[in-house]
Structure 1
Amino acid sequence: MFRPSNRAVNMWGTSLSSAFRTSLACTLVGIATLYGPSSFQRVVALPAFSYVTVILVVTDATVGDTLMGCWHAALATAQTLGPAMLSLYLIGPMRLSSVVTAILTALAAFAVVVIRRTHVLCKRIALGQIVLIYVRGFIMKEEIDPIMHPLHVAASTAVGVLACVLAVSLPFPRLATYEVRQNCEGLLENASTRLKLSLKAASAEEKSSATALVSRVKLLAVQGGRYVKLVKQYQESAKWETFPFKWLLKSACHDVPGNSLEGTFGVQLRGMQMALASTSPCRPYKADDPGNKTVDQKLDSEEVIQATIQKFRNRLIGKNPSSMAPENKLDSLFDSVLEVPRSREDLSSVFFLFCLKLLHCSEEKNGKPAANSGKTSAFAFMHAFKFSLSLGLAVLFGLAYSRKNGFWAGLPVAISYAAAREATFTVANAKAQGTVLGTVYGVIGCALFHHFPLKFISLVPWFLFSSLLMKSRMYGRAGGVSAAIGAVLILGRRNFGQPSEIAIARIVETLIGLSCSIVAEMTLGPNRASSMARAELKNCFKALRESIAGLTGSKPKRSESLTKLRKCVHQLGLYIDEATVEPSFWFSPFNCSCYRKLHESLLKLFDLMHFKIKALGQFEEELTKLEVPVKETLDKLYGDINLFGLLIGAPIKRLEEAIVTKSKVVTDEKLEKGGDAADIELGEKSGKSTTGSLNSCADVRNLVRDAVGSYLEHSREVTDVITDEEKGRDTRRGVALSLSCMGYCMGSFIGEIGELEKAIQELIPHQI
Structure 2
Amino acid sequence: MAAITRADSTTKALWRRRLGSALRTALACSIVGFTTLYSPEHLRHMPAFPAFSYMTTILILSDATLGDTLRGCWHALYATIQIMIPSILCLWSVGPDRFTADVAAVVVTLMSFVVALPESTPLMAKRIAFGQIVIVCVGTVVHGAKTGIVMHPIHVASSTALGALASVVAMLLPYPRLAYHEVKKSSKLYAENASEMLNHFVKAFCAQDNAAALDSISEAKSLFKAGTKQLLSIKDKQEGMLWERPQIRFLKPNYKDPREKLQELEIPIRGMELALTSCPSFPVGMIDEDLRDVLQSLKAEIGLKLEQAKCYASFDATTAPETEKNCKDESLWSLKAISSTEDVPASFFFYCIKLLQDGLPVAPNAEFVVNETRETHTEGSSDSQNQNKFKCKLKWISSSLFLLPSLESLVFALKCSLSLGLAVILGLMYNKENGYWSGLTIAISFATNRQATFKVANARAQGTAMGSVYGVICSFLLQKSVNFRFLPLLPWIIFSSFLRHSRMYEEAGAISAVIGALLILGRKNYGTPSEFAIARITEASLGLICFIIVEILFQPARAATLAKAQLAQSLQALQDGIKDIVLFADQKGKPTPTALRDKQKRLKSHINELDKFIAEAEMEPNFWFLPFHGSCYEKILASLSRMADLLLFVAYKTEFLSQLSERFGVSWKQIQEPINDDLELFKEKVGYSLKCFEEVILIKSLAVLAPERQNRNISHDVESGRLPNEDVPRTLSPDEEEIEEILSSFLQHSKEVANSINGYDGEEKHLSQTVLVLNGLGFCISSLMKETTKIEKEIKELIKWENPTRNINLYEISCKLNATYPK
Report the counterpart of residue 483 of structure 1 in structure 2: 513
CA–CA separation in structure 1 for the residues paired with 2:360 and 2:427: 56
Report the counterpart of residue 172 of structure 2 in structure 1: 169
> Is 1:303 paired with 2:300?
yes
Report the counterpart of residue 561 of structure 1 in structure 2: 599
Structure 1 587/339 Cα, relative in aligned 2: closer, same or farther at 3 Å? same
CA–CA separation in structure 2 for the residues paired with 1:469 and 1:284: 49
Report the counterpart of residue 455 of structure 2 in structure 1: 426
CA-to-partner distance for each residue in 1:54-83, whole Å, 9 max, x for gaps?
111112111111011111111111222222
Query: Which one is further off, 576-585 or 113-122?
Result: 113-122
Report the counterpart of residue 271 of structure 1 in structure 2: 271
Report the counterpart of residue 88 of structure 1 in structure 2: 91
Report the counterpart of residue 502 of structure 2 in structure 1: 472
Structure 1 362/129 Cα, relative in aligned 2: closer, same or farther at 3 Å? same
C-alpha deviation, 1:734, in angstroms? 2.8
Amino acid at match of 1:579: A
> Is contact 1:647–1:704 with CA below 8 Å preserved after alignment?
no
CA–CA separation in structure 1 for the residues paired with 2:652 and 2:173: 49
> Is contact 2:109–2:418 with CA below 8 Å preserved after alignment?
yes
C-alpha deviation, 1:708, in angstroms? 3.0
Query: Among residues 668, 684, 697, which one is paired with 1:659 in the alignment?
Result: 697
Query: Among residues 728, 747, 753, which one is paired with 2:788 in the alignment?
Result: 753
**What TM-score, normalized to structure 1?**
0.89
**What TM-score, normalized to structure 2?**
0.84
C-alpha deviation, 1:619, in angstroms? 2.1
Query: Among residues 438, 443, 452, which one is paired with 2:467 in the alignment?
Result: 438
CA–CA separation in structure 2 for the residues paired with 1:327 and 1:153: 65
CA–CA separation in structure 2 for the residues paired with 1:693 and 1:627: 46
CA–CA separation in structure 2 for the residues paired with 1:254 and 1:463: 38
> Is 1:401 paired with 2:436?
no
Amino acid at match of 1:520: V
CA–CA separation in structure 1 for the residues paired with 2:627 and 2:9: 37
> Is contact 1:677–1:687 with CA below 8 Å preserved after alignment?
yes
Q: 1:382-397 alignment to 2 at 5 Å?
A: 382-397=411-426
CA–CA separation in structure 2 for the residues paired with 1:160 and 1:716: 71
CA-to-partner distance for each residue in 1:81-102, whole Å, 9 max, x for gaps?
2222222222222222212211
CA-to-partner distance for each residue in 1:560-580, whole Å, 9 max, x for gaps?
211110011111111111111
Query: Among residues 488, 500, 508, which one is paired with 1:458 in the alignment?
Result: 488
Superposition RMSD in Å: 3.2
1:189 alignment partner, SS class: helix
Aligned length: 739
1:299 alignment partner, SS class: helix
CA–CA separation in structure 2 for the residues paired with 1:237 and 1:724: 58
C-alpha deviation, 1:26, in angstroms? 1.3
Report the counterpart of residue 606 of structure 1 in structure 2: 644
Query: Which one is further off, 104-113 or 30-39?
Result: 30-39
C-alpha deviation, 1:340, in angstroms? 6.5
> Is 1:764 paired with 2:767?
no
> Is 1:222 paired with 2:225?
yes
C-alpha deviation, 1:685, in angstroms? 5.7
CA–CA separation in structure 1 for the residues paired with 2:336 and 2:83: 66
> Is 1:510 paired with 2:509?
no
CA–CA separation in structure 1 for the residues paired with 2:489 and 2:94: 41
> Is contact 1:202–1:299 with CA below 8 Å preserved after alignment?
no
Report the counterpart of residue 737 of structure 1 in structure 2: 772
Structure 1 337/18 Cα, relative in aligned 2: closer, same or farther at 3 Å? farther
Query: Which one is further off, 549-558 or 230-239?
Result: 549-558
Query: Among residues 152, 155, 163, which one is paired with 1:152 in the alignment?
Result: 155
Report the counterpart of residue 748 of structure 2 in structure 1: 713
CA–CA separation in structure 1 for the residues paired with 2:732 and 2:334: 37
Query: Among residues 63, 69, 74, which one is paired with 1:71 in the alignment?
Result: 74
Structure 1 607/693 Cα, relative in aligned 2: closer, same or farther at 3 Å? farther
Query: Among residues 510, 529, 533, which one is paired with 2:563 in the alignment?
Result: 533
Structure 1 323/266 Cα, relative in aligned 2: closer, same or farther at 3 Å? closer
Query: Which one is further off, 71-80 or 540-549?
Result: 71-80
CA–CA separation in structure 2 for the residues paired with 1:699 and 1:323: 44
Amino acid at match of 2:358: C
CA–CA separation in structure 1 for the residues paired with 2:304 and 2:195: 10
CA–CA separation in structure 2 for the residues paired with 1:361 and 1:493: 62
CA-to-partner distance for each residue in 1:619-639, whole Å, 9 max, x for gaps?
223334436831212333333
Amino acid at match of 1:50: S
> Is contact 1:196–1:305 with CA below 8 Å preserved after alignment?
no
CA–CA separation in structure 1 for the residues paired with 2:123 and 2:265: 29
C-alpha deviation, 1:254, in angstroms? 9.0
Structure 1 28/341 Cα, relative in aligned 2: closer, same or farther at 3 Å? same
C-alpha deviation, 1:594, in angstroms? 0.7
Query: Which one is further off, 142-151 or 655-664?
Result: 655-664
CA–CA separation in structure 2 for the residues paired with 1:245 and 1:490: 44
Query: Among residues 671, 682, 696, which one is paired with 1:633 in the alignment?
Result: 671
> Is 1:206 paired with 2:199?
no
Structure 2 stretches lacking a partner, 5+ long: 363-380, 583-590, 704-715, 804-823
> Is 1:361 paired with 2:362?
no
Amino acid at match of 2:292: D
Amino acid at match of 1:505: A
C-alpha deviation, 1:103, in angstroms? 1.5
Amino acid at match of 1:336: L
> Is contact 2:686–2:734 with CA below 8 Å preserved after alignment?
no
CA–CA separation in structure 1 for the residues paired with 2:443 and 2:574: 40
CA–CA separation in structure 1 for the residues paired with 2:303 and 2:764: 26
> Is contact 1:19–1:464 with CA below 8 Å preserved after alignment?
yes
> Is 1:549 paired with 2:610?
no
Report the counterpart of residue 236 of structure 1 in structure 2: 239
Structure 1 339/547 Cα, relative in aligned 2: closer, same or farther at 3 Å? same
Report the counterpart of residue 123 of structure 1 in structure 2: 126
